Amino acid sequence: MPRKAKLIEIPAIAPLDRQAGSLSRQLSQALREAVRQGKLQAGDALPSTRALAAALYLSRGTVSVAYDQLIAEGVLTAQPGSGTRVAAIAAGTPPSPSPSGGPHGEPTLSERAQAFAALPAA
């Protein structure tokens, strides 16, 4: 008997407009907004790319591109075998203070990067 994809209901995602451009961009925007609005909380598990693609009638590649973009932005985290989750920092959890931050909170270079930056240009 053929398997049926389990449909996942994610109320945070409005229907995507297939005429309005990139579906992966629309999906990543919808997920980003759901995190910003608190509809998706830190640590919430998202469906697998296959399950979400089936639920939204999209290709798995479209969902993968959207997830990859949000992972690159730090909105989501992914662990092989553990799934994709909303990142703590993306959901409003303040990051832990960095001991190496500059006087105005800007990042500073590590000792190795400072040594590299001090090398004369070739």
Between 50 and 104, residue with greater pLDDT = 50
41 in a structural domain: yes
| Sign of the Cα pseudo-torsion (16, 20, 25, 30, in order) | negative
Helices 60-73 and 23-36, interaxial angle, to 10°? 50
Task: Give me the mean pLDDT over the 21-26 stretch.
Answer: 93
16 in a structural domain: yes
Q: What is the pLDDT of residue 60?
A: 96
Asked if 74 and 87 touch (Cβ cutoff 8 Å), the reply is yes
Say how far residue 8 (Cα) sits from the centre of its chain. 18
> What are the residues facing 77 on neighbouring strands?
85
Between 45 and 115, residue with greater pLDDT = 45
122 in a structural domain: no
Q: Does pLDDT of 30 surpass 60?
A: yes
29 in a structural domain: yes
Q: What is the pLDDT of residue 90?
A: 58
Task: Give me the mean pLDDT over the 4-24 stretch.
Answer: 74
- Residue 34: which domain range? 1-95
Tell me what percent of the residues of the chain surpass a pLDDT of 70.
73
118 in a structural domain: no
Q: Does pLDDT of 98 surpass 80?
A: no
Asked if 31 and 70 touch (Cβ cutoff 8 Å), the reply is yes
Q: Which residues contact 115 (CB under 8 A, 6 or more apart)?
A: none
Task: Give me the mean pLDDT over the 73-83 stretch.
Answer: 90
